[in-house]
Amino acid sequence: MAHANTAAHNENDNDYVRIFDTTLRDGEQSPGCTMNVEEKIALARQLERLNVDIIEAGFAVSSPGDFESVNRVAQALTEPIVLSLSRTQEGDVDAALRAVDKAKHPGIHIFIATSEIHLKYKLNMNREDVLDAATWAVTRAKKHLDYIEFSCEDASRSDWDYMVDVCSEVIRAGATVINLPDTTGHAIPEEFGRMFAYMREKVPGADKVIWSAHCHNDLGLAVANSLAAVRNGARQIECTINGIGERAGNCSLEEVVMAMKTRRDLMGVGSRINTRQIYPASRLLSQVIGQSVPANKPIVGDNAFAHEAGIHQDGVLKYKLTYEIMKPEDIGIPSNKLVLGKHSGRHAFTNRLKELGVDIDDVDVNKSFAEFKELCDKKKIVYDDDILALVTESARRTIDHFELIDLKVGSSSRSTPHAEVTLRVEGKECSAEGEGDGMVDACYKAIYKIAAINPALERYAVKAITGGTDALGEVSCMIRENGVTVAGQGAHSDIVMASALALVNALNRLKARKHAPLKPTSDVR
C-alpha cells in the first residue's frame, strides 16, 4: 500500500494557497444534501476541472456507501489529492487507507478534538489520552502513505499551548498538513489570525508543514476568518461549493477564492483555481442536491452582477468598474443569449454542452438532444440555463426506482383541483388519483398514494430559470420521513410537471437512503 511522496504533487513552496474542497464530505452533511456515488463522481470531475488541490471525498468508515464513493472518486481523478476523513481509531485509519489506495495522489485526514469541552463531554478523555491517540494514528498512517493531514477539532476553543504540544508530536510522527478548524464558527478574524501566528511561532517544525484553516459560518465569518488565517501564514483553505455544510455552512470556495483574486494587492497570495469553472461548479451542485442558490449569494447568485438602481446602471454603462469589481466572464457565467435553436445540429449541441462544463461522458447525448429539440418546439428562446437544466433533468431520470410516466391535472374556480398520475415502479406501471388545495397539492397526494408513504413536505420552491411566460420552470422540494430528509429537483416548461419530477426525484433519493446504512452523526467536524 506504500506510495511515493504525494506531498510533492503540490510542490513544496508556500507561494500559493491550496484549496481543499470538502463538498463531498462536510458539505454533504447539510440536511437534504445527500449524494449518490454517481453524483459524487460527476461533482468530483467538475472539481478537478476547477483545479482544486485536494478533495475530501468522504468519511470511509461511516458506511459501505461512503467507502465506495471515496474509493471510486479516488480512482476517477488524476490531478488532485484525494483523501478520506478518519478518527484516531484503528478501524477508521485502515478503512481510509484502503479507500484511497488506488488513487494517483492518495491522502488521509486524521482528526481528534482538543478543546476542553469536547474532551470532557464528548470524548471522555484527558489531554494525555488525546495526545497519545493522535500520535498513534499519524504514525500508523505514515507507514502507508506520505500525505497526512491532522486536525485539532474545535481548535478555536482549545488551549493554544496544549495544541502546540499536540501539533509538535504529530509533526514528529509524520503529519504534513496541520489544520486548525473553527468547528463551531465561534472565532472572529482577529483572534483566529493570532492563533495561526502563535502556533507557527511556537510549534517546532512549523515551517516544514502546511497550515490549514477550516471555518464554519455560524456567525457569517467563515470567509473572513479563512482570509485572516492566510494573512498569518496559512497556505491551505478548506471550503465547499456554494458554502454548503452543517448548520450555517462552511467557508464558501467561490467567495474566498475570488476575494484573494480580487484583493491580491492586500493578500499578496492567491490560489490556482480555474475561476471560469466556478459558476458551472455552483450550478452542478445546485442541480445535484436540489437546492437553489439564493439570488443575493455573492459571486454565483443571480443578482451578483445585476444592476437595477438607475445610478448604478448609468455608472456600469459608462465604465463597468464603477460598480463591478469582478467580470462575470471570470467566474464562467454564461452569456444567457440565444445560442441554439430547433435548426441546430447534434454536433453544435454537444459542443455547447462542453462549453457549459458538462462532462458528456456522463450524459446520454442522444436522449438529451431529442429532449432539446422538443423544448425548442415549445419555447421561443432557449438559453444556456435551459440546456443545463434539461441535461441534468434527463440524467436524473436514468437510474430511477420511480419514474413519472403520465400526469393529467384539472382545476377550475368551481371545482376541487384533481390529478391523475402514472408512475413506473420497478418496471410496473401504477396509477392513482388525488385532490388537493391546488394542482400541485393534488399531484403530490396522488404520488404519495403510489409510493405508499406520507412524508412531511418541508420545503417547496419554484424558480423560473429564464425569462418569459414560456420559461423553463425549476422546482425544488425537501421531504422528510422517519427522520430522513432528502431534497429533489425537477425542470420543465410546465410548472406542475416540474413539481412532479422534483417529488419523484426526492422519492428516489429517499429510496436510496433507506437501503444504505446511516452515517454516524458524532465525532464529525
Q: What is the pLDDT of residue 307?
A: 57
422-439, pLDDT tens digit by residue?
999 988 999 999 999 999
Q: In the β-sheet with 473-481, what is the strand arrangement from edge to edge?
A: 456-464, 473-481, 484-492
**Which has the closest alpha carbon to 524: 34, 139, 65, 84?**
84
Q: How high does pLDDT run on average in the chain?
A: 88
Give the separation between CA 169 and CA 139, rounded to whole angstroms: 10
239-264, pLDDT tens digit by residue?
999 999 999 999 999 999 999 999 99
Q: Based on C-alpha coordinates, what's the Rg of the chain?
A: 24
**Least confident window among 2-6, 22-26, 160-164, 217-221:** 2-6
Q: Kindly indicate the confidence band of residue 11, based on its pLDDT and cuts at 50, 70 and 90.
A: very low
Contact, 361 vs 328, CB < 8 A?
A: no
Say what the pTM is. 0.80
Q: What is the pLDDT of residue 420?
A: 97
- Give me the residues paired with residue 252 across strands: 240
Q: What is the pLDDT of residue 203?
A: 98
Q: Kindly indicate the confidence band of residue 66, based on its pLDDT and cuts at 50, 70 and 90.
A: very high
Q: Residue 507 burial by CB count (10 A; 0-12/13-18/19+): exposed, middle or buried?
A: buried
316-356, pLDDT tens digit by residue?
567 667 767 888 889 988 654 545 777 777 887 888 787 77
Q: Residue 513 burial by CB count (10 A; 0-12/13-18/19+): exposed, middle or buried?
A: middle
478-511, pLDDT tens digit by residue?
899 988 888 888 888 899 999 999 999 899 888 8
- Whether 159 shows a pLDDT value over 90: the answer reads yes
Q: Helix axis angle, 90-99 relative to 127-142, nearest 10°?
A: 30
Contact, 447 vs 409, CB < 8 A?
A: no
355-396, pLDDT tens digit by residue?
777 778 878 888 888 888 888 887 666 777 778 777 766 655
Q: Kindly indicate the confidence band of residue 470, based on its pLDDT and cuts at 50, 70 and 90.
A: low
Mean pLDDT within 278-307: 87
The amino acid present at 93, given as its one-letter code, is V
Percent of the chain with pLDDT over 90: 62
Q: What is the pLDDT of residue 341?
A: 72
- Give me the residues paired with residue 424 across strands: 403, 429
Q: Kindly indicate the confidence band of residue 36, based on its pLDDT and cuts at 50, 70 and 90.
A: confident
Q: What is the pLDDT of residue 106?
A: 98
- Whether 140 shows a pLDDT value over 60: the answer reads yes
More confident residue, 365 or 469: 365
Q: What is the pLDDT of residue 377?
A: 80
